[in-house]
């Protein structure tokens, strides 16, 4: 997931371009990842050493964030059980996979579309993520973290279907 995001970040030429998330410019997508993950992990008592403090230089900030996450995953205790106040007990590596990987995947599409890029994202992962999010039912929309689903025709590819489900306009262009 991180490699695809990094590829897109490397291709962005206008960090002030609008994204499919109405409140965000391209730099805000990276800012979200840089700000969200350390706080999320801190809730489980996990420090993310080396993570950038901000996304002033977005592509570089994401690179540093990726290195910090990879260091956690490469650590001998990456599978240790941590307790998150909202999620209970989970293995750290599984927590990162379940929440961070999914977030990076979805935001790769947002960042790419801000530059008019169609990212190469795994349709199987999109299908599985869509199913998991759909199973959350009304709770997903009530969280305020996703927009209202946008209807798409039958046969729409899995990545675009997922993005429409989380409230992204499949027709978005910068």
| Rg value, the chain, Cα | 16
What's the pLDDT at 12?
97
Rounded-to-integer distance, Cα 159 and Cα 150, Å: 13
What's the pLDDT at 147?
84
> Is residue 143's pLDDT more than 80?
no
Averaged pLDDT of the chain:
93
C-alpha of 108 from chain center: 7
> Is residue 125's pLDDT more than 80?
yes
What's the pLDDT at 123?
97
On whether the CB atoms of residues 24 and 38 are closer than 8 A, the answer is no
Where does residue 64 rank: exposed (0-12), middle (13-18), buried (19+ CB within 10 A)?
middle
What's the pLDDT at 102?
93
C-alpha of 56 from chain center: 19
Rounded-to-integer distance, Cα 17 and Cα 27, Å: 8
What's the pLDDT at 55?
92
List of residues 6+ apart from 123 with CB closer than 8 A: 157, 158, 159
Rounded-to-integer distance, Cα 149 and Cα 143, Å: 14
DSSP letter, residue 83 = E
Residues 23-43 have pLDDT tens digits of 999 999 999 999 999 999 999
> Is residue 86's pLDDT more than 90?
no
pLDDT band at 1 (very low <50, low <70, confident <90, very high): confident
The β-bridge partners of 90 are 82
What's the pLDDT at 39?
93
> Is residue 112's pLDDT more than 90?
yes
Half-sphere exposure of 148 (CA within 13 A, CB side): 1
pLDDT, average across residues 9-36: 95
């Amino acid at each position: 997931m991180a490699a695809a995001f990094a590829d897109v970040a490397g291709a962005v030429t206008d960090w002030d371009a609008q994204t499919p998330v109405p409140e965000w410019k391209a730099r805000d997508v990276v800012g979200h990842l840089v700000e969200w993950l350390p706080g999320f992990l801190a809730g489980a008592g996990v420090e993310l050493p080396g993570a950038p403090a901000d996304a002033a230089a977005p592509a570089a900030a994401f690179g540093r964030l990726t290195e910090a996450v990879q260091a956690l995953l490469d650590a001998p205790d990456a599978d240790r059980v941590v307790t998150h106040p909202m999620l209970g007990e989970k293995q750290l590596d599984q927590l990162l996979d379940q929440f961070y990987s999914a977030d990076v995947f979805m935001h790769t599409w947002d960042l790419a579309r801000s530059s008019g890029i169609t990212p190469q994202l795994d349709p199987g992962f999109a299908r599985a993520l869509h199913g998991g999010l759909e199973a959350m039912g009304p709770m997903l929309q009530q969280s305020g973290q996703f927009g209202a689903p946008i209807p798409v025709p039958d046969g729409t590819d899995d990545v675009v279907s997922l993005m429409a489900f989380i409230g992204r306009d499949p027709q978005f262009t910068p």
